[in-house]
Amino acid sequence: MSPASSGSPSDLGNHVRDAGSGESNLARRLAQMEQRLLMLDQARDHEQSSLLRQRNHVKPHSSSQPSPLSPQRSSFHLIDPQGSVQPSQSAQSYEREQERDRQDISEEDEPLQQLSNRSLEGAFHEDNTSFRRKWLGPSSLQVFTQWLDLSSISHGGQALSSLFRFGMRYTEEMEIPFSTMGLDSLPRLPPIPDRNRFVSAYFASIQPIFPVLNKDDFSAILEKFDWLSSDQGLERIPFVAPVDRPSLACIYAVMSIGVDEENNANTPMGDAYLKTAFSLYAHVISTPYLSSVQALLLLSIALKVRNKDGSAWHVVGHAVRAAQSLGIHHSRKTDSQPNDNLQLDARAWWTAYCLDKIMGFETGRPSAIDDEDCNQQMPSAFHVSVSGYPGGNQGSDCFIALINLAKIQSRISKRLFKFKAANKSAQILQEIGELDHSLISWLETVPPDIRPGNDMFCGPDMFSPAAFLALQYHQTMSMLHRASLLLDTNLLQQYITMHCSKMQWLHRLKRGEHVCVASARAIVKIWTEESPGNHCTQYLLRTLTPPLLAIYVLAIFILKHPQGNLVQSDLMLLNSGSQHVENQYILSGQDPGFYSMLGILRDLVAQRVLAASAAQPPTPAATAVTGSDGVIPHRRSSGEQDNTLYFPVDEFGYDGTIEEDIWSRVLGNDLSAGVMADNHAFDVGYQFFGLPGYPQFRPGG
């Protein structure tokens, strides 16, 4: 359908605002918009299923490279090592039809073609020069990026999501030198005094929140392998029984973490030890017992802190499977099993649980654990040598708090991010309110000295675990309320008033956008201001997912409210936080093409604030009221252009197709920014998402 035949957005506005057009015209136009969105979704679903059936018949040929933001069909291409792709016959036919459609689009719409209409539920990141391809889950980072794409592209800028492909290889792959792939090339450990210092650093930083090891047992393992620290070198490697080889991986993983913690940075020595531990992977999984689970969990922690979240997610999944094969996901009490062993089983399982849920929550990928098939007892208090805490139980407090938080993360993923089309606004808002209440209740169970939201009252040795717990809490709160951030503020207020007037958390939901951004501010503050160099344990704070999420939240909030009261302080937080993240990516060796998006984001936000400050002072936004014709006028927020959108409301309240379609987008399964390029949907989408107006890029405008 060409723009001429369907009408332009300005035509829609004229119909809506024309007092003589009547409610029938309004209903007809909205029905056309709903039908158009439905047709686009059906076409996309048909395209995906058709290409999937043809997937095994793909042959390589020489062709132009697909855009990283190309439509969903590119998700089902197989890419040969030279980077060329060959779509199936049905895909070629579809592409010819799409090419004819694209010819109908005027040249002034060209900036919109950078937008992706991919479903995040089935989209992939692809490396244009190789076979590499990775699935995109509905993570908040991906959803926020789609929102920022709309703002950046419409302002004549670059789509930020196009830069994610540059970071894929770093986060997903672990390069292992071929010479280290075996027991015959194990590197020497440091001299025993240094080795013991690194082991102590590991137990001080990791044990309080991920108690994978028993310290006495690990000391015995080190004694068994003391030849690794021999001054004579390792010219002759003693025979290591297969059942003992996972313990070797544990030693090298602990050394990697301890060396980096001691130096408060990722070090070449730590990297070498990590690669050695990873090179023992086949030996670890060939004898899948508890020591294998421990080795895999230690590997995943070390990988995650080096921001190799993709690799860590794979390893955690294997650890979960190995743990389940041992049955430690179930509680068991036997006279033949010492209590210490049962407690170690419980701690290993719940560490695997926390890592699995955290990584699934952050990446949008599936969890390997079904909560209903898990009845392992909670771990008892365990001793941690922490200065200033004679009782030594603060570590177990952190661990138990993290377990309970991970359970809430699992519920959020299951109830919100696994969005079903049948879900209605009232149900979605009800669940957000319930989950928010669960987070607030969880907060009250955490001891005051390590409770998120307070200043850090714990000793320096507990700073890293307590700060990690706080980062996870604030990240969870931001993700839970992300719909409030992504949707237009005034429009969401109408939804909440319409559907939640009798809910006990009505006012909390109405403040959801501010809850989201307050957590983002807290993340940046913890990460940049409350981790001075005199703290002993900062290892866990080098993971960059929470601060990167916070930067995105701050950017979106500033773009929506460029004249807000706290815009200058938020801009300072955004700049300092993004600079810190960028520096960490540089130090870790991440691809510059990936972290260059942080500079683009800073420029985009700065330009928006500058333009808003040069504009006339905004007039107070009008209060939404229902007119005599049953229409709720939606007014613009401060500093935005007049993109007024109207909704017909009957006596039962409006709850139509467009509304539910938008919920599916902001909850992460299908933001589908590219669908906005269609005439009416473009204006509708801009107003739904509270974006500043750029009429020069509107189709037909």
Give a yes or no: residue 637 inside a domain. Answer: no
Q: 271 to each of 212, 255, 274, 276, 300, how far by Cα in Å?
A: 21, 10, 5, 9, 14
Report residue 125: phi and psi, to 5°.
-90, 135
Run of H or E residues at 23? helix 22-53
Helices (H), 178-267: 192-205, 215-224, 245-263
DSSP annotation string for 647-679: EE--TT----HHHHHHHHHHTTS---GGGGGSH
365 inside domain: yes
- For 128, phi and psi rounded to 5 degrees? -70, -15
Which pLDDT score, from 0 to 100, does residue 412 have? 93
- Calculate the alpha carbon distances from 135 to 31, 34, 138 in Å: 34, 29, 10
Q: What is the pLDDT of residues 467-510, one digit of tens each?
A: 999 999 999 999 999 889 988 888 888 888 888 888 888 999 99
Distances in Å between the Cα of 113 and the Cα atoms of 3, 102, 146, 676 are 15, 9, 14, 10
The first and second tokens of residue 445, run together, are 């169970």
CB atoms inside a 10 Å sphere around CB 144: 26
The per-residue DSSP string of 609-620 comes to: HHHHHHSPPPPP
Query: Is residue 52 a part of any domain in this protein?
Result: no
Residues 697, 659: Cα–Cα separation, whole Å: 24
Concatenating the DSSP letter of every residue in 111-136 gives GGGGS----TTT-EEE-TTSS-EEEP
The pLDDT score that the predictor gives to residue 590 is 86
| Alpha-carbon span 244 to 280, nearest angstrom | 11
Between CA 42 and CA 121 the distance in angstroms is 15
Return the number of other C-beta atoms located less than 10 Å from residue 6's C-beta.
17
Inside any domain, residue 273? yes
What is the per-residue pLDDT for 24?
53
Q: Look at the block and give the residue holding tokens 């047709």.
A: 39
Is there a contact between 435 and 416 (Cβ–Cβ < 8 Å)?
yes
- In 3D space, the residue among 698, 451, 630, 585 whose CA is nearest the CA of residue 170 turns out to be 585
Cα atoms in the 13 Å half-sphere on the side-chain side of 319: 30
What is the rounded distance in angstroms from the CA atom of residue 513 to the CA atom of residue 511? 6
123: left (phi > 0), else alpha (psi -120 to 50), else beta? beta
| Rounded CA separation 698/679 (Å) | 8
pLDDT score, position 236: 58
To which residue do tokens 């390590």 refer? 450
Q: Which two tokens stand for residue 652?
A: 């039962």
Distance CA 111, CA 447 (A): 52
pTM of the predicted model as reported, rounded to 2 decimal places: 0.71
Distances (CA, A) of 569 to 135, 562, 566, 572, 579: 36, 12, 5, 5, 15
What is the spatial distance between Cα 354 and Cα 300, in angstroms, rounded to a whole number?
A: 12
387 within 8 A of 459, measured Cβ to Cβ: yes
* Cα-Cα end-to-end distance for the chain: 17
The closest alpha carbon to 684, from 3, 9, 61, belongs to 9
Residue with tokens 């008033």: 497
Backbone φ and ψ for 631, nearest 5 degrees, come out as -110, 130
How do beta strands 124-126 and 133-135 pair?
antiparallel
Mean pLDDT by 10 residues, the chain (701 residues): 40 39 51 57 51 40 33 29 36 45 40 38 49 59 71 68 66 59 74 93 92 94 87 64 92 96 90 93 91 97 92 95 93 69 92 96 89 90 49 71 97 78 74 95 93 78 88 96 86 84 89 95 86 55 90 94 92 94 88 88 91 69 34 38 36 44 57 45 49 40 37
**How many domains does the chain contain in total?**
1
Rounded Cα distance between 29 and 40, Å, is 17
Question: Residue 553's Cα: distance from chain center in Å?
Answer: 12
Pair of tokens at residue 162: 């196009």
Place of tokens 């691809």: 591
Q: Write down the pLDDT at residue 497.
A: 87
pLDDT of residue 183: 60
CA distance linking residue 225 with residue 251, whole number of Å:
9
Query: Is the residue at 366 inside a domain?
Result: yes
pLDDT of residue 331: 87
Report the run of H or E that residue 646 belongs to, with start and end.
strand 645-648
Which amino acid, one-letter code, is at 369? Answer: I
Predicted confidence at residue 486, as pLDDT, reads 84
Q: What single-letter amino acid sits at 276?
A: T
| Residue of 126, 125, 130, 127 lying closest to 142 (CA atoms) | 125
Per the structure, the complete domain to which residue 236 belongs is given by: 175-380
The helix/strand/coil state of 634 is strand
Determine, yes or no, domain membership for 270: yes
CA-nearest of 251, 244, 368 to 318 is 368
Q: What's the rounded Cα separation, in Å, for the pair 112 and 100? A: 17
Q: Which two tokens stand for residue 98?
A: 């799409």
Q: pLDDT at position 673, please?
A: 46
Q: What is the pLDDT of residue 501?
A: 84
Copy the structure tokens of residue 62. 């020489």
**pLDDT score recorded for residue 94:** 38
Report angle CA 575, 581, 587 to the nearest 5 degrees.
135
Which residues, other chains included, contact 158 with Cβ-Cβ below 8 Å and sequence gap of 6+?
114, 152, 600
What residues pair up with 79 in beta bridges, in sequence order?
85
Q: What confidence score (pLDDT) does residue 699 get?
A: 35
pLDDT the model gives residue 651: 39
- Distance in angstroms (rounded) separating the CA atoms of residues 460 and 390: 14
Residue 116 in any domain: the answer is no
Contacts of 112 by beta carbon, 8 Å cutoff, 6+ apart = 153, 154, 674, 676, 677, 682, 697, 699
Q: Which of 625, 694, 689 lies closest to 147 in space, CA to CA?
A: 689
- Token pair 């708090």 is found at 401
**Residue 358 counted as domain residue:** yes
Q: What residues have CB less than 8 Å from 155, skipping those under 6 apart?
A: 604, 607, 608, 694
Instruction: Report the C-alpha gap between 598 and 601 in whole angstroms.
Output: 5
Element (H, E) at 12: helix 9-17
pLDDT at 104: 43
Pairing verdict, β 645-648 and 124-126: unpaired
